[in-house]
Amino acid sequence: MTVKSRFETLVTVFGGSGFLGRHVVRALAQRGYRIRVAVRRPELTGYLRPMGRVGQIHSVQANLRHAPSVAAAVRDADAVVNLVGILFERGRQRFDAVQAAGAEAVALAAKSVGARLVHVSAIGAAADSPSRYARSKADGERRVLAALPDAAVMRPSIMFGPEDDFFNRFAALARLAPALPLPGGGHTRFQPVFVGDVAEAIAKAVDGEVKPGATYELGGPDVRTFKELMEFVLATVQRRRLLVPAPFALMKLQATLLQFLPKPPLTPDQVELLKRDNVVSDAARRDGRTLEALGIVPESMAAIVPSYLWRFRKTGQFNPHTA
């Protein structure tokens, strides 16, 4: 049997044009893999091609609800990465359709061509969660492992990086609003992880450096409460704002209205997610299913976040005492 080199190995990345996707594509390209990016709008992914050599990265159209397009996207692939997920539901984009049935479709297609599969889920995925998002993530994991028991599952905590939707969102809010809300008092704990570290873990899984069938939980070096994260944002953007505790019931009432916006800042389902800690479990640490176990030293928020939140300061990247 001929063993392929990385330059001959084809990796299909579903959802490769998103926040995490572009970092995964870059990590795989740096390793020399040939990359097929499977997305709904391939004509909008031209910015990915310069991440690799000429012809190394190309895009194809695929929709997880359309099985033939999924099968075509994995044809001749040696490895498959599924990054597709949604934060809120719109029209036909439902949690179960995308994150459960869609994940199963990718797994079955990967199985049909004998490809290695890396599936990205989320810390907090649980079949008994009150959140539909978390339940669909857990159902997706179950379906993936039923189809491919050797698949690698990656569960990141909230991710940060220049294009993130967490720190950027609250920094923008702090620029306009006199106060920031603390859902449930802001006691829920998070373990933010650098998107580049998550991409590196996924690339290592494609390399075959993970335990078959294992679920890895990916968190950064800092565990912080929601309140502490808001204090970090305010200190970084050099603004003083009130931090106002808000009962979950009140947040859910507000989210009931906000969910109808084109890109809602909060939905009732996300309020349910905010009730549970989003950190790496003791079991994952004990079993060696973390970034550190993969030989990755996670970057801290303090080392990365200020490099892109400076634009929300009154004086930008200049020191306010010298500006």
**pLDDT tens sequence across 70-106:** 999 999 999 999 999 999 998 888 999 999 999 999 9
Q: What is the DSSP string of 12-58?
A: EEETTTSHHHHHHHHHHHHHT-EEEEEES-GGG-GGGGGGSSTTTEE
Other beta carbons within 10 angstroms of residue 293's beta carbon come to 16
pLDDT band at 320 (very low <50, low <70, confident <90, very high): low
- Quote the pLDDT of residue 317: 75
Q: What is the DSSP string of 101-158?
A: IHHHHHHHHHHHHT-EEEEE--TT--TT-S-HHHHHHHHHHHHHHHH-TT-EEEEE-S
Task: Look at strands 10-14 and 116-120 and give their pairing.
Answer: unpaired
Does residue 177 register a pLDDT over 70?
Answer: yes
Give the domain ranges of the chain. Answer: 6-162+190-221+279-298
Q: What is the CATH number of domain 6-162+190-221+279-298?
A: 3.40.50.720
pLDDT digit string, tens, across residues 226-244: 999 999 999 999 999 999 9
Judge residue 238's burial from the number of C-beta atoms within 10 Å of its C-beta, 0-12 exposed, 13-18 middle, 19 or more buried.
middle
Averaged confidence pLDDT in the chain: 94
pLDDT band at 1 (very low <50, low <70, confident <90, very high): very low
pLDDT band at 321 (very low <50, low <70, confident <90, very high): low
- Quote the pLDDT of residue 10: 98
Share of the chain above pLDDT 90, in %: 89
pTM of the model: 0.94
- Quote the pLDDT of residue 229: 98
